[in-house]
Structure 1
Amino acid sequence: MRIIAELPPSTSRRVVVSRAKALSDYVDMVDIPDSPGGRPSAHAIAVAYVVKEIGLTPIAHIRLRDLNELAYRSLLGAARLLGLEYVVPLSGDLPSVGRPVDHLTTEEAVPIAREYGFRVGVLLSMRRNYAERLKIGADFYLVLNLVDPKSLERLAAFDVYPYVLLRTERNAGLVERLKQPAVGLDSLRRYIEALDPYVKAVVISAPGDFEAELSALALLAKR
Structure 2
Amino acid sequence: MEYVFELVPFKKEDIVKIVSSSKDFFDYYTLPEGPGGYPGISSIATSIYLKTVYSVESIPHVRLYDLNRLALLSIANAVKEFELRGLLLLRGDKPVEGVIVNDIGSEEALI
- The separation in 2 between residues aligned to 1:77 and 1:11, in whole angstroms, is 25
SS at match of 2:65: coil
Tell me what 1:25 maps to: 24
Tell me what 1:65 maps to: 65
Which amino acid letter does the alignment assign opposite residue 18 of structure 1?
A: K
Task: After TM superposition, give the deviation of residue 10 of structure 1 in Å.
Answer: 2.4
Which amino acid letter does the alignment assign opposite residue 38 of structure 2?
A: R
Preserved CA contact (<8 Å) 1:60 1:87: yes
Tell me what 1:56 maps to: 56
Among the aligned pairs, what percent are the same residue? 33
Task: After TM superposition, give the deviation of residue 28 of structure 1 in Å.
Answer: 2.2
Which amino acid letter does the alignment assign opposite residue 17 of structure 2?
A: S
SS at match of 2:33: coil
Q: Which runs of 5 or more residues in structure 2 are unaligned?
A: none
SS at match of 1:31: strand
Distance 1:33 1:109, change over 3 A: same
Which amino acid letter does the alignment assign opposite residue 91 of structure 1?
A: R
- The separation in 2 between residues aligned to 1:17 and 1:83, in whole angstroms, is 21
- The separation in 2 between residues aligned to 1:78 and 1:2, in whole angstroms, is 25
Paired residues in the alignment total 110
TM-score (ref. length: structure 2): 0.89
Q: Relative contact order (alpha carbons < 8 A, sep ≥ 6): 1 or 2 greater?
A: 2
Task: After TM superposition, give the deviation of residue 9 of structure 1 in Å.
Answer: 0.9
Q: How does 1:19-168 map to 2 (within 5 A)?
A: 19-53=18-52, 54-111=54-111
CA-atom RMSD, angstroms? 1.4
- The separation in 1 between residues aligned to 2:66 and 2:21, in whole angstroms, is 31
Which amino acid letter does the alignment assign opposite residue 24 of structure 1?
A: K
- The separation in 1 between residues aligned to 2:35 and 2:20, in whole angstroms, is 22
- The separation in 2 between residues aligned to 1:11 and 1:104, in whole angstroms, is 29
Higher strand share: 1
Deviation string, structure 1 residues 146-181 (Cα, Å, up to 9, x no partner):
xxxxxxxxxxxxxxxxxxxxxxxxxxxxxxxxxxxx
User: 31-40 or 70-79, which moves further after superposition?
Assistant: 70-79
Deviation string, structure 1 residues 114-153 (Cα, Å, up to 9, x no partner):
xxxxxxxxxxxxxxxxxxxxxxxxxxxxxxxxxxxxxxxx
Tell me what 1:135 maps to: none
Task: After TM superposition, give the deviation of residue 11 of structure 1 in Å.
Answer: 4.2
SS at match of 1:21: helix
- The separation in 2 between residues aligned to 1:11 and 1:49, in whole angstroms, is 15
